[in-house]
Amino acid sequence: MDKMRNVRGPTITLLIVGCFSLLLLVVLNLVFGSLAQNASERVNFSREVRAHAVSMRSALQTAEASQRGYLLTGNEIYLAPFATALDEAQRALSELRQRDGLLPTGEHAFQKLETVIQEKIVELETTVEQYRRGERDKALEAVSQNRGKALMDEASVFISAIVRKAERDLTAGVALQQNSLRTVQISTYIAVFAVFLVTAGVYFIQRSFVRELRTANEQVQSLNAELEARVEERTQQLRQARDRAEVLLAEVNHRVANSLTMVASMVGMQARASGDEETKRILADTQARINAVSVVHKQLYTSSNVQSVALPDFLPKLLEQIEGAMRSEGLSATVRKEIEAIEMPTDQAISLGIILTEWVTNAFKYAYPAGVGEIRVKLVHLGDGLAQVSVEDDGVGLGATTVPKGTGLGSKLVSAMAASLGGTVEYQNRNPGTEARMVLPL
């Protein structure tokens, strides 16, 4: 962000300078263009005034020369340009009358000039007309009095003043026009140079910024590559540590399972060595419970998941072990299993295994005293996050009691395990047989 601000500030400043230069160029062009336009109009105006003044003087001189030649020779040929020259003088005078503000002595001087010109024209026409009527002497006498020459000299003075002022105005207008154009040209060069500097400045700022961005991007990529290498290395280390932990945990479960099997075997040996039947029965129940826990640990060290137990894998093995133990005691009931695909955390699976061990063992011992029959173990989904586990038989039933026969320790153990699972236990007479059922949340 700091680099972005460092680039944004100078760039905006340069752009403002460039915009101001262009605006200044436009203003200067408008101002000096207007001055140049005014100067051009002034030059044209002065040129026209000078041209009309010179044309009027030339026309009067032509008319005067035509008059003199006619009066001296009497030859009509001299009068050929006379009328045209007088018309030209009148036309030039009319044009100057429309531009009398350019005369050096103002409006009254122009009125006097106009009077002189009119008198000179009258003098020229009068003498020519007198000569035509045969009054040659009278016409020559009028000429000899130098009245026409005086009028012509006076008119020439006024006309020369007009010409000089027109020439001065023409020179000043041309100079102003040239100065305006030169100023516009110089301001254009300056503005173009300023825009060039602004463009170059923005280009170099952006170029420097892009170079810094490219360098920063390369550094980020290098850091990302280094970070990815470190993450990969750390991931590999964690993966190896996890693999070691899983191996160690599997080994622990293996050793725990072996230890529990050894303890169960020792309990069984103790039961067989005891002479008291009640003691044998209690030790046999204890051995079954230990075996239930052992089966869970065997399942754990043979599974890739140590956090939970797949009940379709665990419960059949547990039931086969219970069935084998019961058959070794001469009880030949058959266990039929219906286990749906459900997973439970390890500690909950152990509690469920102990409950099923109690129920199935009781069914073998008390439901079928003769040793023949069927025990059905079911684990099914109920929906809404609930499951139901049940053990049912077709044996002698509960009779008048509502709990299984025995010392009562198994019932207490079932109640404790069910409470840890958050389940509710029910026992029902089926007539014939008994059903032990528990609903528990998953």
Q: What is the DSSP string of 186-211?
A: HHHHHHHHHHHHHHHHHHHHHHHHHH
Strand order in the sheet with 386-393: 334-339, 374-383, 386-393, 434-441, 424-429
Hey, is 330 helix, strand or coil?
A: coil
| Average pLDDT for 26-35 | 77
Residue 419, pLDDT score:
93
Whether 415 has a pLDDT exceeding 60, the answer reads yes
Q: What is the pTM of this model?
A: 0.43
Name the least confident of 137-151, 248-262, 311-325: 248-262
d(CA 335, CA 373): 9
Highest mean pLDDT among 239-243, 247-251, 259-263, 311-315: 311-315
Of 5-14, 154-163, 316-325, 385-394, least confident by mean pLDDT is 5-14
352, 408 Cβ separation under 8 angstroms = no
User: Which tens digits make up the pLDDT trace of 350-374?
Assistant: 899 999 999 999 888 888 877 688 9
Nearest to 135 by CA among 187, 176, 211, 74: 74
Most confident of 39-43, 138-142, 245-249: 138-142
Residue 84 pLDDT grade (very low, low, confident, very high; cuts 50, 70, 90): very high
Q: 58 pLDDT exceeds 80?
A: yes
Q: What would the mean pLDDT of 264-268 be, rounded to a whole number?
A: 66
Between CA 363 and CA 433 the distance in angstroms is: 9
**Which residues lie across from 377 on neighbouring strands?**
337, 391
The whole-angstrom separation of Cα 415 and Cα 404 is 13
Q: What is the pLDDT of residues 220-256, one digit of tens each?
A: 888 888 888 888 888 888 777 766 655 555 555 555 6
Give the model's confidence band at 401: pLDDT under 50 very low, under 70 low, under 90 confident, else very high: very low
Query: What is the structure's pLDDT at 255?
Result: 59
Average pLDDT over all residues of the chain: 81
Residue 206 scores a pLDDT above 60: yes
For residue 153, what are the contacts with CB-CB under 8 A and spacing of at least 6? none
**Quick count: other Cβ atoms within 10 Å of Cβ 304?**
6
Residue 402: the pLDDT is 43
Residues 357-386: b if buried by 16+ CB within 10 A, e if exposed: bbbbbbbbbbbbeeeebbbbbbbeeeeeee
Count of alpha carbons within 13 angstroms of residue 229, beta-carbon side: 5
Q: Predicted confidence band at 257 (pLDDT cuts at 50, 70, 90)?
A: low
More confident residue, 388 or 40: 388
pLDDT of residue 142: 82
Q: Note the pLDDT of residue 72.
A: 87
Predicted confidence band of residue 167 (pLDDT cuts 50, 70, 90): confident
Cβ neighbours for 388, distance < 8 A, ≥ 6 positions apart? 378, 379, 380, 382, 437, 438, 439, 440
User: According to the model, what pLDDT value does residue 139 have?
Assistant: 84
Name the nearest CA neighbour of 172 among 331, 38, 11, 358.
38
Please tell me the distance from the alpha carbon of residue 388 to that of residue 436, in angstroms, as a whole number: 11
Beta bridge partners of 424: 439
With a CB cutoff of 8 Å and minimum separation 6, the contacts of 149 are none
pLDDT band at 388 (very low <50, low <70, confident <90, very high): very high
State yes or no: pLDDT of 332 exceeds 90: no
Q: Is the pLDDT of residue 107 over 60?
A: no
Q: What is the DSSP letter of 177?
A: H
> Does residue 285 have a pLDDT over 90?
no
Task: Tell me the average pLDDT across 412-418.
Answer: 91
Residue 101 has pLDDT above 80, yes or no: no
pLDDT for residue 393 is more than 90: yes
What's the rounded Cα separation, in Å, for the pair 292 and 336?
18
Q: Does the pLDDT value for residue 37 go beyond 90?
A: no
| Cβ 32 vs Cβ 184: under 8 Å | yes
How confident is the model at residue 214, as a pLDDT?
86
Asked whether the bond before 432 is cis by omega within 30 degrees of 0, the reply is yes
Indicate whether 24 pLDDT > 80: no
The pLDDT of residue 410 is 81
26-30 average pLDDT score? 77
